[in-house]
Structure 1
Amino acid sequence: MKSVIVVCEAGITTALMVTKLKELAEENKEDLNIYSKGTEEGLDYVKNVETDVVLLGPQIHHKTEAYEEVTDAEVLKIPVNDYNNMNVYSIFEQLQKAIS
């Protein structure tokens, strides 16, 4: 089972996105654990828990390097347009490419 975290400034904005991504994973028979975290909580999480993919919300794209320094997970930036429009289909495609 692959582990994915979606990180935004406080971790609140991504809650709905995580729900939708979990639904898409189930529909596509992808075995994924997907969590939502705030910036600092996310950094601590990836330091201590094996994670396969980190999806960063646009407001924390500037933290990409900090995440890459503390994890072997693939760190991806969610495109601003996809994030603002809650385009979970596009975000899920990006996620699928990272885990395949």
Structure 2
Amino acid sequence: MTKILLCCSAGMSTSMVVKKMRVAADSKNIDVEINAVGSEEFDANVSEYDCFLLGPQIKYKLEAFKARVDGKPIAVINQMDYGMMKGEKILTDALAMIK
């Protein structure tokens, strides 16, 4: 099972994106675990996940977080996709990063 972790300032707004991503994954029978945490919880979760997505509001932390993920894929979610809660698009982008 693929595991994707989303991270934002407090984990609140990103949790709505997670719900949309889960609906998209279920509709396509994709076996994936998707969760969201606040940035202060990021380090405690690195070993558990295959891919990391940062909310646009913390894009300034990307370089610091890259150094913590042991070469695993990490990116900032496209601001437009995030704002419009395009769960399917964000899921597709995340899965493409892993392959």
* Partner residue, 1:10: 10
Point out 4+ residue stretches in structure 1 off by more than 6 angstroms: none
Instruction: In structure 2, give the amino acid aligned to 1:70.
Output: R
Q: 1:41 corresponds to which residue?
A: 41
Q: Could you say which structure has the greater relative contact order, defined with CA pairs below 8 angstroms and 6 or more residues apart?
A: 2
Matches of 2:92 and 2:5, distance apart in 1: 15
Find out whether 1:77 has 2:97 as its counterpart.
Answer: no
Distance (Å, rounded) in 2 between the aligned partners of 1:30 and 1:98: 15
Match of 1:66 in 2: 64
**How far did 1:21 drift?**
0.7
Cα displacement (A) at 1:43: 2.7
Once superposed, what is the RMSD of the aligned Cα atoms?
Answer: 1.3
Q: Which runs of 5+ in 1 are unaligned?
A: none
Q: What SS does the corresponding residue of 1:6 show, helix, strand or coil?
A: strand
Q: Give identity over the alignment, percent.
A: 33
What's the CA shift for 1:57? 0.4
Q: Counterparts of 2:88 and 2:23 in 1: how far apart (Å)?
A: 11
* Alignment match, 2:25: 25
TM-score (norm 2): 0.89
Query: 1:76 corresponds to which letter in structure 2?
Result: A
Note the alpha carbon deviations across 1:36-76, whole angstroms, 9 max, x for none.
Answer: 10011123321xx3311101000111111122111132101
Separation (CA, whole Å) in 2 of partners of 1:83 and 1:52 = 20
SS class of match (1:70): coil
TM-score normalised to structure 1 length: 0.88
Q: How many aligned positions are there?
A: 98
Q: Which runs of 5+ in 2 are unaligned?
A: none
Shift of 1:89: 2.4
